[in-house]
Homo-oligomer: A and B are copies of this chain.
Amino acid sequence: MYNIGIDLGGTNIAVGIVTKEGKVLKKTSVPARAERPFDQIFADMASCIRQLFAETGIKESEIESIGIGTPGCIDTEKGILIFAGNFKYGKNIDYRAEMAKHFDIPVYIGNDANVAALAEVRAGAAKGVKNAIMITLGTGVGGGIIIDGKIFEGAYSAAGELGHIVLISNGEQCSCGRKGCWEAYASVTALVRQTKAAMLANPDSIMNKTPLEQVSGRTAFDAAKKGDKAALAVVDQYQEYITEGLADMINIFSPEVIVVGGGISKEGDYLLNPVREKIKSRVFGIGLLPDRKILPAELGNDAGIIGAAMLHA
């Protein structure tokens, strides 16, 4: 038996057939075009699944579950999307019923950040770990809480909005409506903002070789590795912001492992070693307990597919 995982993003829909061990056997993707009516998006998902059946020779009867990872707040028991902040999908959409129009296979849904965390615990950086936290640094700061090997969802499946804890009370405006959230400082969006400000303030910085409108999360990191002072300061401050939030995570959860995902996590030790050092003086019982591990994510973009495929159990 196999499981199908669908990573329903704002830009792309990625669909894969996944083995019990968390290997993606075959995958495909289509543009999400999220402004469309929802039934069209689901019809595209179904087409992707049929395409994968055709390409692999695997049959519908060999599929145990279809899992969908989606942005937003969901009712996992009912399989309903309650709302999705940044998307136009609307409110109270019955994912399970919509997918049932196409296949006679049990459907499970999960929040995308939670699903990525599940993948990393079942088949990635935190494999075999019981209690772990995953933080995804991207457009926002996503969070996933794994307790006893399972996603912890809380009431209304609304737990795990870890990017929306306050870092500086009444600080920077966050997209969620609150001010001073961790996301407003530690997301890649925030890093780009911080990088641009440093470029404007430091005309001599080699970061200015990049046109302002092309600045990405990599701009400051690339220049910092070449010894650019302004870039080093941006990276150090960004690591400071990451550290503060991760220290909160340790003081709250004392997880065995924190997995850091998102494109910027590919910087690996260059990003995380200073964080691991800085965090030592921020965790409760300074120096009295072993360090909790902070590891880069291993599954990259496939985490969404793999985790969704594992939602059934």
Contact = CB atoms under 8 A, between A and B. Distances in A.
Interface of A: 73, 82-83, 85, 91, 131, 143, 145, 147, 152-162, 164-169, 176-178, 240-241, 244-245, 247-248, 250-256, 281-282, 284-286, 288-290, 292
Chain B CB within 10 Å — which of A143, A164, A241, A245 has the most? A164
Given A131-B154, A147-B147, A158-B285, A165 B251 contact: yes
Contacts of A161: 251-252, 254, 284
Nearest to A160: B252
Contacts of A162: 251-252
Contacts of A281: 177-178
Nearest to A257: B155
A158 B288 CA distance: 11
B251 A164 contact: yes
Contacts of A164: 251, 284
A184 B284 CA distance: 14
Given A160-B252, A252-B160, A244 B166 contact: yes
A247 B165 CA distance: 8
29 contacts: A73-B288, A82-B285, A82-B289, A83-B285, A83-B288, A147-B152, A153-B254, A155-B255, A155-B256, A156-B254, A156-B289, A158-B254, A158-B284, A160-B252, A164-B251, A164-B284, A165-B248, A165-B251, A166-B166, A166-B167, A166-B245, A168-B168, A168-B169, A169-B240, A169-B241, A169-B244, A176-B286, A178-B282, A252-B252
